[in-house]
Amino acid sequence: MAKTDIGPPDYKTMLPPVISRNYGKWRYHEIPQPGLLVHTAESGEKLYSVRAGSPRLVSTDHIREMCAIAEKYCDGYLRFTSRHNIEFLLSDKDKVSPLLAELESKGYPVGGTGHSISNIVHTQGWVHCHTPATDASGPVKAVMDEIYDYFVTMKLPAHVRIALACCLNMCGAVHCSDIAILGIHRTVPKPDNTRVPNVCEIPSTVASCPTGAIRGDMKNKTITVNDEKCMYCGNCYTVCPAMPIADPENDGISIWVGGKVSNARSAPSFSKLAIPFLPNNPPRWPEVVDAVKNIIEVYASHARKHERVGEWIERVGWERFFTLTGIPFTDKHIDDFTLATETFRSSTLFKWE
Amino acid sequence: MAKTDIGPPDYKTMLPPVISRNYGKWRYHEIPQPGLLVHTAESGEKLYSVRAGSPRLVSTDHIREMCAIAEKYCDGYLRFTSRHNIEFLLSDKDKVSPLLAELESKGYPVGGTGHSISNIVHTQGWVHCHTPATDASGPVKAVMDEIYDYFVTMKLPAHVRIALACCLNMCGAVHCSDIAILGIHRTVPKPDNTRVPNVCEIPSTVASCPTGAIRGDMKNKTITVNDEKCMYCGNCYTVCPAMPIADPENDGISIWVGGKVSNARSAPSFSKLAIPFLPNNPPRWPEVVDAVKNIIEVYASHARKHERVGEWIERVGWERFFTLTGIPFTDKHIDDFTLATETFRSSTLFKWE
Amino acid sequence: MAKRETPLLDQLEGGKWPSFVKDMKEAAEKNPMAEDLLGQLELSYKDRIGHWKHGGIVGVKGYGAGVIGRYSDRPDLFPNVQAFHTMRVNHPTGWFYKTDALRRLCDVWDKHGSGLTNMHGSTGDAILLGTTTDHIQPCFDDLTEAGFDLGGSGSALRTPSACVGPGRCEWACIDSLDVCYNITMSFQDKIHRPMFPYKFKIKVSACPNDCVASIARSDFSIIGTWKGKIRIDQAEVQACTASGLDIQKEVCDLCPTKCMEWDGKQLKIFDEDCTRCMHCINLMPKALRQGEQRGATILVGGKAPILEGALLSWVIVPFMKLEPPYEELKDLILRIQDWWDEHGKSRERLGELIKRLGMRVFLRAVGLPAVPQMVKAPRTNPYVFFWPEDIKKEVK
Amino acid sequence: MAKRETPLLDQLEGGKWPSFVKDMKEAAEKNPMAEDLLGQLELSYKDRIGHWKHGGIVGVKGYGAGVIGRYSDRPDLFPNVQAFHTMRVNHPTGWFYKTDALRRLCDVWDKHGSGLTNMHGSTGDAILLGTTTDHIQPCFDDLTEAGFDLGGSGSALRTPSACVGPGRCEWACIDSLDVCYNITMSFQDKIHRPMFPYKFKIKVSACPNDCVASIARSDFSIIGTWKGKIRIDQAEVQACTASGLDIQKEVCDLCPTKCMEWDGKQLKIFDEDCTRCMHCINLMPKALRQGEQRGATILVGGKAPILEGALLSWVIVPFMKLEPPYEELKDLILRIQDWWDEHGKSRERLGELIKRLGMRVFLRAVGLPAVPQMVKAPRTNPYVFFWPEDIKKEVK
Ligand code: SRM
Ligand code: SRM
Ligand code: SRM
Ligand code: SRM
Ligand code: SF4
Ligand code: SF4
Ligand code: SF4
Ligand code: SF4
Ligand code: SF4
Ligand code: SF4
Ligand code: SF4
Ligand code: SF4
């Protein structure tokens, strides 16, 4: 009989000795080069963290390779970051260069620190989930290939955090990202009336719809969808498997910009709609890659130092954002959900373009 | 048989000749002293406008007195402002001083220009309306007596616009005022079941409730109110006279601050709750007078030049506003209506006090 | 008439601000309605409650608007205000009066009513406070004879109002008075005969200072604005500093877009970033003048809180030229009212309807293009509707 | 095994960023599940649609959480992923690993699953991607043997996560790792046995930079902060300028409260106006140190858009000292979960419940006082509820 509720291993057993000795007594850090963090403790001891990019979807052999590297340079200590990068934790300064060399030779990108683009937080997509409107790993790989240079350098005005979620559930950090890539459906789910009565609970299916598009049909133990009120969120499908929503012709990707999480300078804020729809074009999603790159480049050349994407747009105005990026503004950009009126312009204070 | 639809008199017939001549060709204005506006036209001609306070509720004899003054100094031309002040319109500079002297002798306060407190926009109250939670003219008179000095001088950091409405219908400009005085009920309306069936339409009564507190009782052709959900707005009473809401013990006044209308510097914005309740204490509403005065004085001594009340509070923070004014913050200040979440603090960016 | 005791109201006669009680007493001297009004108000002060019954419907022939019915709940004590209806008289645009017109109004009111007024109501009408049911029609007849007409009430177009604008103000970007008067005259029918789901208010301010609170208090807000560079008279700028204005601190630092530069000698404005807030111009009326291309921003939806919460008007047309006969403007108003009329529920203001059906639906219905000026920021939620034409036909 | 043709996925092997396809192929070399996964993914790339059926309920004995059931909709083509469930393994707090532990994990997974993982899932778990139904329990048994346990899923407490905090970061105001670990261990039952209306997430960031996105992605957000003056080492400030930092432009001008003054020599901070945004400290880690009194701001309600729209967490306790055993904190969590449990509808997150019933009701229920730090601004609508005790008893 297995033990239960043992919980995760105690993190204290996982800390390199330099951390255990200086725990909570760090004094400052420096980033001498992209991907290398040097933390100095009050004791004067230093910790070298080398950050390397990861596809996140990794095989056990790949993990073992990481382990081998960590054993060679870091006495077997490593960690992962909240954005799924790998961090090799060294106490020996002399091992930093050899480690960097080995990482380079093995194809690990080193970077993601400071004013860079770090790894893209993302989700399952077609690899494992049942509701995706697009794949996750594929678009991420295609985008990262294109903007690779921003990962291994620190030349942007500020941090740029990108996330991807393959459906409106937004398992990635999409809703608060500098740039977000979001899979969307665009057609109404098709309830299968033969299956609904068996597999779905009518009241919870009705309650699952944010816009009240679903009506219960108690007599036939099924439901009907009001096409006009449906905005294809797919939440009903989560609750009731008998109303599939995926549609290869019309599923695709929307692009969102200007969100952030940190409290630095400005308050955390949501990402806002930039591009309502781009087609799913596997394997390399060229329209998505171009769109993301365009936004990054316009941002890079217009924002002031330390200005996150959203802070830049707030300063110059959304009118200007659309002009500069050449992205067309449409009625889809105008909110029509419950807090919509808060986003309407209730002043004469705007720019002409 | 009367003529119908003749419309108001053509304003062009009401304009003093100096205006007709320079219509649309004004070049700049000056305010040499409180209550005196001097507008210079491109032609070089000047218009002198002398602004005097008015109780708004005026008798025909009082109007005739204004007319007499206007005839004496202004060739019979005067106007009223959007805040119900009187403006005497002169083309002859020499008549300005004598006019000012006569106004002073007759007890007309002259001022309301520039960085002053202008007249209080207000409503009917107990004088004429059926839904008031307080009087209008009385509190206005009591407050203006106390802050008179701010009307006849221009020593505040910026314009301060006060408004009063005697119920939540807000016939005054209360929802966007620097300081707003708002009559409120605090008890649930009492439907008179004998009258409801005769005088009220059930569906529209049910629909009139912003919080869905009213249920139709179709069988008995009446309605019931869910006390827990009622926030005493009185809208049901407007629609259904058989559910009176006035309650002398519990009706009173709330104070709101920080709204504005102009687009100058910052966008127009709503007034926010400062004091949820002060008692109705006729004839001079001392608690209300003190509260308004306190806010003005704290504002006057802390705001920077050109900062409207709301702009000042935004800069220093609401935490600081409550600390400085000594007004207690309560759970009533926290919104719980439909857009409430937009007002919650979704960051760690606040002051300790 | 026996003088009533009004110990509470008497306490409002003192103080420096003009007293409405004085006016009421003045009227009460010669008018029994005014006297009973005073008495009933004193009772309200004592009881801390109003003494008017829920209004009833009264009016003049051919109109459905312009009179607010009102009855005392203590006719036993105050028989002269048993019925005490107000007449809303449409003011001359800009509230300009020649005294002869004003005197005619007073005469009519002394003949038919209480002799008490509000100059003016907060929608802008001259409010004639209190007459009896049988005086309504004769009073109206005498009013039109004197050149006045009633304003709006109920589910009608309400009396439009305008800032003084070109009548006096150097900042007028549009002819607020003429636009307002033109609308008023064109839409007389809509003012006098309530045919809408609810009230509809129009207010016109000739610049973004918005001196008639158009953005806050009207369903359809017309606010003057400009395109083109703010014209700078550098000599006058210097004169401003001379007279004590700290241009860096008071002007540049408070410019919301920080698009001004002042080096102590020259003032520079990066106009492409300016959002035309008026602040710098307000502070230096002699030195700065708005850009030369003039027009209006059109906004809709403003209102007080009942039912869904207060709304400020929202931009729907960033820039519209306004020249007589204002056909484009009036046509837009009509299209909007038609749509509202068709879809609005009873007592649903325009802003609430747009909120309910979506700006997207509104724009398409009235034929306006979506532009970024309409929003502070694009939507944050992913609940995006697509139009049927966006979607590929199904091939499954 | 016959190598599958994957012409589309092959195109994702090129490029500089590490390729997940490479990892999948690596695993496919020795694992038939991984191979079929590769095949099915290729089909998805061709069809532009997912090929997984709606998840089913699977799990380990005694738990209701930790495993996500998944079945292929083309078992005819890909029999080895007919069932392909993921195991969510609770990571060691801070995602710190000693390689032996990590190797043990890999060994277990090679024995029972596809050999593919996510390091890590976006809630923070080590995701073991895909095993068959009959392997779930043995896999779990081996996991616990190796010292690992499952994380949360379904309507349970989800695996809490924390920023690296005191493990490495000079800005840690609280012991994010210890708090997180303590909570995780204290609430094992709630993680493994779903008993709530819906999921509940806790994330701990040790300072306002919020490196685990606590405010955006957790129902209960714990964010370190401080009271007291920011400590300034003026010599180090000078050193910063020397190394090219423009203190006026890059630091002072970007301070959101403009509470800093720099005269080229001395840096002054008016701490009473500081909102602890971290910006200045972020830019000058050697020169500036946070104030000495340390604690956390507690916020609740953060979540993704489904159902009512995304929410960022809201301040409910501006400052709480956090010291082991964290009783005050855990007690608050329990009070909140109890209230949510009692009032929440099925699939209603905490934030949505507060939204529905009102912050006022929530605060009273969990016994927290209302303070201005909780709001950006007080309410604008006049729809204020009064408590029964506020009201005078009726005398009518
Ligand atoms: C390792 C990690 C924490 C962890 O426990 O895993 C981490 C570590 C550090 N963060 Fe972070 N942050 C980490 C995720 C985040 C996140 C969360 C996210 O990206 O999803 C945020 C919020 C992002 C946002 O706002 O959208 C975050 C916002 C910051 C900020 C504020 C940046 C800003 O100006 O908005 C700083 C301050 C700075 O860098 O100057 C910061 C600073 C730092 C410092 C300098 C702290 C320190 O002294 O050690 C660390 C190195 C930063 C660097 O990469 O340059 N960290 N940091 C995370 C690395 C993720 C990665 O692999 O890229
Ligand atoms: C006469 C009047 C228009 C009318 O058609 O009746 C008027 C007239 C002028 N306004 Fe106004 N405003 C008038 C109501 C308003 C209102 C509406 C209101 O108060 O309800 C507003 C919006 C108030 C608000 O934001 O809440 C208003 C916001 C302004 C502003 C912007 C002030 C600001 O900084 O926010 C200016 C600019 C200034 O004064 O520097 C302005 C400026 C002016 C100027 C200087 C325009 C001019 O060059 O002639 C006029 C004299 C101002 C003065 O009193 O110092 N006017 N002005 C109104 C006088 C009301 C009164 O008796 O007090
Ligand atoms: C007389 C006046 C107040 C005053 O003393 O100035 C007034 C008086 C009344 N208003 Fe008003 N409103 C008056 C201007 C306003 C304004 C201000 C404005 O127009 O600029 C507003 C806020 C702006 C707006 O329209 O949203 C206003 C918002 C309301 C409302 C709330 C409407 C809403 O949609 O939120 C009601 C309630 C209703 O319509 O049932 C209302 C209703 C009423 C009624 C008819 C009472 C009722 O429940 O039916 C009041 C009749 C009082 C009486 O016995 O004479 N009154 N009312 C103003 C009209 C005078 C005039 O014609 O010039
Ligand atoms: C695996 C993971 C994505 C990933 O690749 O990293 C994931 C995968 C799923 N999420 Fe998630 N969520 C994952 C982190 C998140 C996050 C991010 C976070 O926790 O920081 C969010 C946003 C934050 C939040 O909770 O609001 C998130 C918001 C959702 C939602 C929307 C919940 C909402 O209230 O808005 C759903 C829908 C639902 O619960 O029915 C959902 C549902 C799902 C389901 C269970 C699908 C479903 O409809 O039932 C997915 C199963 C995929 C699969 O087949 O394995 N997932 N999900 C993440 C969990 C891994 C882990 O344990 O570490
Ligand atoms: S975002 Fe949607 S499709 Fe993607 S993993 Fe989460 S629930 Fe599944
Ligand atoms: S997809 Fe979303 S909007 Fe459409 S019916 Fe389902 S739950 Fe409602
Ligand atoms: S605010 Fe209310 S009580 Fe006062 S006049 Fe308007 S409707 Fe009547
Ligand atoms: S007073 Fe307002 S909240 Fe109360 S029942 Fe009437 S309409 Fe509803
Ligand atoms: S709104 Fe503008 S144009 Fe009209 S009076 Fe006010 S300042 Fe002048
Ligand atoms: S009008 Fe306003 S935004 Fe434009 S330059 Fe002047 S102060 Fe700046
Ligand atoms: S949240 Fe703060 S304490 Fe934690 S790692 Fe990030 S910067 Fe350091
Ligand atoms: S922490 Fe932020 S608010 Fe405080 S002084 Fe530094 S920059 Fe300013």
Helix residue ranges per DSSP H, C133-187: 136-145, 176-186
Task: Return the best residue to mutate from A49, A110, A144, A159 for the ligand 1 pocket (most ligand atoms within 8 A of CB).
Answer: A159
pLDDT at C186 over 50: yes
Per-residue pLDDT, D394: 55
Structure tokens, D81: 């992923």
Torsion angle defined by CA atoms of residues C324, C327, C328 and C332, in that order, rounded to the nearest 10 degrees: 130
SS3 A144: helix
Structure tokens, C252: 């540049």
pLDDT at C349 over 70: yes
Structure tokens, C130: 């209190």
Tell me what percent of the residues of chain B surpass a pLDDT of 70. 100
A·C CB contacts under 8 A: 173
Distances (CA, A) of B185 to A98, B299, C90, C205, D267: 76, 28, 32, 34, 52
b/e string for D255-294 if b means 16 or more Cβ within 10 A? bbbebbebeeeebebebebbbbbbbbbbbbbbbbbbbeeb
Q: What secondary structure letter does DSSP report for A112?
A: -
Nearest CA in chain A to C382: A168
Task: Please check whether residue C362 is in contact with residue C354, taking contact to mean a CB–CB distance below 8 angstroms.
Answer: yes
Task: Please check whether residue B216 is in contact with residue B203, taking contact to mean a CB–CB distance below 8 angstroms.
Answer: yes
> Please, which residues bridge with residue C224 across strands?
C296
Per-residue pLDDT, D365: 98
Ligand 4 pocket, Cβ-based, cut-off 6 angstroms = A 123-124, 128-129, 131, 169-171, 238; D 55, 68, 70, 86, 88, 118, 120-125, 127, 151, 159, 199, 201, 217, 303-306, 349
Nearest neighbour of C370 by CB, restricted to A316, A333, A350: A333
CA distance B114 to B97: 20
Residue C277 pLDDT level (bands cut at 50, 70, 90): very high
Task: Please check whether residue A178 is in contact with residue A260, taking contact to mean a CB–CB distance below 8 angstroms.
Answer: yes
Task: Please check whether residue A27 is in contact with residue A45, taking contact to mean a CB–CB distance below 8 angstroms.
Answer: no
Write down the pTM of the prediction: 0.97
Nearest neighbour of B210 by CB, restricted to D374, D383, D396: D383
Q: What secondary structure letter does DSSP report for A53?
A: -
Going by alpha carbons, the residue nearest to atom 3 of ligand 6 is A230
Q: pLDDT for A273-314, tens place per residue? A: 999 999 999 999 999 999 999 999 999 999 999 999 999 999
Q: pLDDT for D5-47, tens place per residue? A: 999 999 999 999 999 999 999 999 999 999 999 999 999 999 9
CA distance C343 to B85: 40
Q: Which atom of ligand 8 is nearest the CA belonging to B235? A: 7
Kindly determine whether residue A341 and residue C375, on different chains, have CB atoms separated by under 8 Å.
no
Structure tokens, A81: 């970051």
Distances (CA, A) of D75 to C64, D39, D55: 73, 11, 15
Q: Which chain A residues contact residue D105 at CB under 8 A?
A: 63
DSSP character string of D353-381: HHHHH-HHHHHHHHT----GGGBSS---S
Per-residue pLDDT, D1: 45
CA distance A226 to D285: 56
Going by alpha carbons, the residue nearest to atom 5 of ligand 5 is A124
Specify the residue for token string 């102590």: C264
| Closest ligand to residue C164's CA | 2
Q: Which atom of ligand 6 is nearest the CA belonging to A189? A: 1
- ipTM passes above 0.95: yes
Structure tokens, A129: 């989930």
Nearest neighbour of C117 by CB, restricted to B63, B142, B238: B63
- Contacts by C69-76, CB closer than 8 A, 24 or more apart: C70/B128, C70/B130, C70/C130, C72/C36, C72/C40, C74/C40, C74/C43
What integer best gives the mean pLDDT of chain C?
97
Per-residue pLDDT, C396: 43
Per-residue pLDDT, B324: 98
CA distance D388 to C215: 37
CA distance D248 to A45: 32
Task: Please check whether residue A158 is in contact with residue A92, taking contact to mean a CB–CB distance below 8 angstroms.
Answer: no
SS3 C241: helix
Nearest neighbour of C381 by CB, restricted to D310, D380, D382: D310
Three-point CA angle A46, A50, A55, nearest 5°:
155
pLDDT at C1 over 70: no
Going by alpha carbons, the residue nearest to atom 2 of ligand 9 is C207
> Please, which residues bridge with residue B86 across strands?
B52, B80
Nearest CA in chain A to B269: A346
C-alpha distance from C336 to closest chain B C-alpha (Å): 23
Task: Return the best residue to mutate from A196, A235, A247, A336 for the ligand 6 pocket (most ligand atoms within 8 A of CB).
Answer: A235
Question: Residue C242: which region, alpha, beta or left (left: phi > 0; alpha: psi -120 to 50)?
Answer: alpha
CA distance A158 to A306: 5
Going by alpha carbons, the residue nearest to atom 3 of ligand 8 is B230
CA of C65 relative to ligand 4 center, distance in Å: 58
CA distance D171 to D164: 10
Distances (CA, A) of C140 to A92, B14, C143, C181, D227: 97, 21, 5, 21, 69
Nearest CA in chain B to D370: B331
SS3 C355: helix
CA distance B117 to B109: 12
- Contacts by D356-364, CB closer than 8 A, 24 or more apart: D358/B336, D358/B340, D358/D385, D359/B331, D359/B334, D359/B335, D359/B336, D359/B340, D359/B344, D359/D314, D360/B331, D360/B332, D360/B334, D360/B336, D360/D385, D361/B336, D363/B331, D363/B334, D363/D316, D364/B331
Per-residue pLDDT, A324: 98
Residue D392 pLDDT level (bands cut at 50, 70, 90): confident
Q: pLDDT for D231-243, tens place per residue? A: 999 999 999 999 9
Residue A139 pLDDT level (bands cut at 50, 70, 90): very high
Residue D55 pLDDT level (bands cut at 50, 70, 90): confident
CA distance B136 to B163: 10
Q: Is A342 in CB contact (< 8 Å) with chain B?
A: yes
SS3 B256: strand
What is the crossing angle of helices D99-112 and A60-74, to 10°? Answer: 170
Q: Which atom of ligand 5 is nearest the CA belonging to A132? A: 3
Question: Which of the other chains make 3 or more beta carbon contacts under 8 angstroms with chain B?
Answer: A, C, D
Task: Return the best residue to mutate from C91, C123, C128, C196 for the ligand 3 pocket (most ligand atoms within 8 A of CB).
Answer: C123
- The residues near D340 (Cβ < 8 Å, ≥ 6 apart) are D196, D197, D200, D350, D353
Per-residue pLDDT, A172: 82
| Closest ligand to residue A225's CA | 6
Residue positions counted in chain A:
353
Q: Is B264 in CB contact (< 8 Å) with chain A?
A: no
Kindly determine whether residue B344 and residue D383, on different chains, have CB atoms separated by under 8 Å.
no
Ligand 5 pocket, Cβ-based, cut-off 6 angstroms = A 123-124, 129, 131-132, 165-167, 169-171
Q: pLDDT for D278-289, tens place per residue? A: 999 999 999 999
Per-residue pLDDT, A1: 59
Per-residue pLDDT, C56: 82
Torsion angle defined by CA atoms of residues C312, C314, C319 and C322, in that order, rounded to the nearest 10 degrees: -60
CA distance B38 to B54: 21
What is the crossing angle of helices B286-302 and B318-325, to 10°? Answer: 120
Residue type, C72: S
Task: Please check whether residue C230 is in contact with residue C183, taking contact to mean a CB–CB distance below 8 angstroms.
Answer: no
Residue type, A200: C
Q: pLDDT for B87-120, tens place per residue? A: 999 999 999 999 999 999 999 999 999 999 999 9
What integer best gives the mean pLDDT of chain D?
97
Residue type, A346: S
Task: Please check whether residue C150 is in contact with residue C91, taking contact to mean a CB–CB distance below 8 angstroms.
Answer: no
Task: Return the best residue to mutate from C122, C153, C312 for the ligand 3 pocket (most ligand atoms within 8 A of CB).
Answer: C122
Tell me what percent of the residues of chain C surpass a pLDDT of 90. 97
Q: What secondary structure letter does DSSP report for B157?
A: S
pLDDT at D332 over 60: yes
- Please indicate whether residue D205, judged by its CB atom, sits closer than 6 Å to ligand 11: yes
Mean pLDDT of D292-310: 97
Longest dimension (CA), chain A: 76
Phi–psi pair at C63, nearest 5 degrees: -110, 155
| Closest ligand to residue A211's CA | 6
Q: Which atom of ligand 5 is nearest the CA belonging to D50? A: 3
Task: Please check whether residue A38 is in contact with residue A96, taking contact to mean a CB–CB distance below 8 angstroms.
Answer: no
CA distance C115 to C131: 9
Per-residue pLDDT, D396: 42
Instruction: Dihedral sign for Cα C125, C128, C132, C135, please.
Output: negative
Specify the residue for token string 């993990």: A63
CA of B324 relative to ligand 1 center, distance in Å: 37
Specify the residue for token string 């649609």: D49
- The residues near B264 (Cβ < 8 Å, ≥ 6 apart) are C208, C209, C277, C278, C279, C282
Kindly determine whether residue D376 and residue B233, on different chains, have CB atoms separated by under 8 Å.
no
C-alpha distance from D304 to closest chain C C-alpha (Å): 10
Q: pLDDT for D114-164, tens place per residue? A: 999 999 999 999 999 999 999 999 999 999 999 999 999 999 999 999 999
Q: Is A337 in CB contact (< 8 Å) with chain B?
A: no
- The residues near A228 (Cβ < 8 Å, ≥ 6 apart) are A213
Residue type, C127: I
What integer best gives the mean pLDDT of chain A?
97
Per-residue pLDDT, B327: 98
